Amino acid sequence: MTTVLAIETSCDETAVAIVKNRQVYSSVIASQIPVHQQYGGVVPEVASRAHLETINDAIAQAMAQAQLDWSKIDGIAATCAPGLVGALLVGLTAAKTLAILHDKPFLGVHHLEGHIYATYLSEPTLDPPFLSLLVSGGHTSLISVKECGNYETLGETRDDAAGEAFDKVARLLKLGYPGGPVIDKLAQTGDPQAFTLPEGKVSLPGGGYHRYDGSFSGLKTAVLRLVQQLEKEGDTLPTEDIAASFQTTVAKALTKRAIACALDYGLDTIAVGGGVAANSGLRKHLQAAATENNLRVLFPPLKFCTDNAAMIACAAADHLSRGHTSPLTLGVESRLSLSQVMKLYQ
């Protein structure tokens, strides 16, 4: 049984959690959303400073919630890639310091691997192989999960990530930041058939379209042109209908590719991770399509869809149980392919 304290500071959440194998003992998240709302998005330097201000309190709260002392902690982990470099450095430095101070193994964790492990927190019996649909503000990928540390990306976005598209469309509609939750809420009362928007297909050189890769930049541009046209005509902007049409288009596109990928590769389980996994439209469409095709689809609890340290601790606990540790010389990287996860360990 492996117990890990993990720190997650890859973007705008200061998170600390303690997980024993796949059981969450504590999970603390200090959100920076109010700080960044005035800018309409995350400001890296502001995020780094906010992490510095809250990291010590978050660690103390996590230890208090878990009611454990340091003798019960087997390892210390932190997200080291990908993410905002300054933000990552805060968490990584704190984790290394704790590892040295308490003489514990240190592990650097890939942020996307954490999102894959988020499903394990609610489905402790889940084991590879399965397909991971990872949809967040910075990433949209279809990943074949073969075993701990062994991943193959089968499909991805060619431009904007799904979460990024939600934020940009929310900005067009003057809905504020972050865009995902407010669009989801407005879509509940809108007509998803009100406007026909492009799915975002990726053409193949020999003709036809890629079955797993997608694009969201064209969809974002289509919404922009729609808004400009409606404003030019002087009509009241049907925000709810636009939100519903946009959300349904994204959900259908993601569902279509995930189902095709799972069937083509003979994977009977799709585990969804990332902030967009909380979207009600995606949950509805993907669950219905999975049922039709005799596939199992798993969504993490809403609290583990967005960035959190419990998923990082869960991944670290699995690595540590296999004897994987990271050198204290490990640095941070703003970009790192998921296929390179094992370079983080020795």
User: What residue numbers does the annotated binding site for Fe cation cover?
Assistant: 111, 115, 307
Q: What one-letter code names the amino acid at 15?
A: A
DSSP string for 224-258: HHHHHHHHHTTPPP-HHHHHHHHHHHHHHHHHHHH
Buried b or exposed e, range 183-197, using 16+ CB within 10 angstroms: bbebbeebebeebeb
| Residues contacting 88, CB < 8 A, separation 6+ | 9, 10, 79, 80, 81, 332, 334
Binding site membership: which residues?
Answer: 111, 115, 134-138, 167, 180, 184, 279, 307
Give the integer Cα–Cα distance in Å for 346 and 330.
11
Other residues' Cβ atoms within 10 Å of the Cβ of residue 307: 27
Q: What one-letter code names the amino acid at 303?
A: K
Cα distances from 123 to residues 26, 68, 301, in angstroms, run 17, 24, 10
| CA–centroid distance for 187 within its chain | 21
